[in-house]
Amino acid sequence: MIIYSACSDQELILLLKENDHDAFVEIYHRYSEPLYRHAYKMLRDREVAKDLIQELFTVLWSKRSEFVLQASLSSYLFTATRNRVIKIISHKSIESVYFSSIQKSINQGNAITDHLVREKELSAIIEKEIDKLPRKMRTVFNLSRKDQLSHSEIAAQLNISESTVKKQVNNALKILRVKLEIYRPILLFFLP
């Protein structure tokens, strides 16, 4: 009968390669706790450290027949643990960069969307006030500002003098300034 606790690491590896489950259990009892502490010290996450150690021993058992030990079992296990920790940390940092990039993209998208909504609301307020202008003044103002016609072009189109066009546009602007003044706090909120 084999007393596994009395076996050296080298003897346990030979028994492990012969599918000796009790040798594997002895290796697990010798190293799982120190490996867990080693992983936890670097990760500061109990569950991730536990999972890492479980995975390490699962791989050790599943690849036992092809297992080749170059150094001591202790060195192998601690190096394998460290490598897995590095992989987890690098994965987390890549994940963090990825999520940060997504969040930035979402925030920029939200800012653009908010700006478009505010611009649309502001345009609606201005249009509403323009629609309240007297008919002839509204027509002159729309030709000037929306259609971007010159005063002489508007005068020719409506068969009125350029000074009348200028006066109508100036009066429309004065009325709109007064009407939109009550929206000033809202307009400041809407403007980026």
Higher per-residue confidence, 118 vs 56: 56
Comparing 102-106, 121-125, 164-168, 171-175, which segment has the lowest mean pLDDT? 102-106
pTM of the model: 0.51
Q: 181-188: long-range contacts (C-beta < 8 A, 24 or more apart)?
A: 183/125, 186/125, 187/122, 187/125
What does the alpha-carbon distance between residue 101 and residue 159 come to, in Å, rounded to a whole number? 59
Tens of pLDDT along 146-162?
A: 788 888 888 888 888 88
Q: Rounded to the nearest 10 degrees, how much is the dihedral formed by the CA atoms of 105, 106, 110, 116?
A: 50
**Dihedral sign of CA atoms 16, 18, 20, 21 in order:** positive
Q: How far is Cα 188 from Cα 75, in angstroms, rounded to an integer?
A: 66
Which domains, from first to last, does the chain contain?
4-97 (1.10.1740.10), 132-190 (1.10.10.10)
pLDDT at site 172? 80
Query: Can you say how many angstroms the Cα of residue 132 is from the centroid of all Cα atoms in its chain?
Result: 46
Comparing 105 with 81, the larger pLDDT belongs to: 81
Give the torsion through C-alpha atoms of 147, 152, 155, 156, to 10 deg: -90
Predicted confidence (pLDDT) per residue in 51-104, tens digit: 999 999 999 999 999 888 888 999 999 999 999 998 888 777 655 655 666 666
Mean pLDDT of the chain: 82
What pLDDT was estimated at residue 150?
84
Contacts of 22 (CB under 8 A, 6+ apart): 2, 4, 15
CB atoms within 10 A of CB 73: 19
Three-state SS at 72: coil
Of 17-21, 32-36, 72-76, 141-145, the range with the lowest mean pLDDT is 141-145
Which residue would you say has higher pLDDT here, 46 or 158?
46
pLDDT at 62: 94
106 confidence band (pLDDT: 50, 70, 90): low
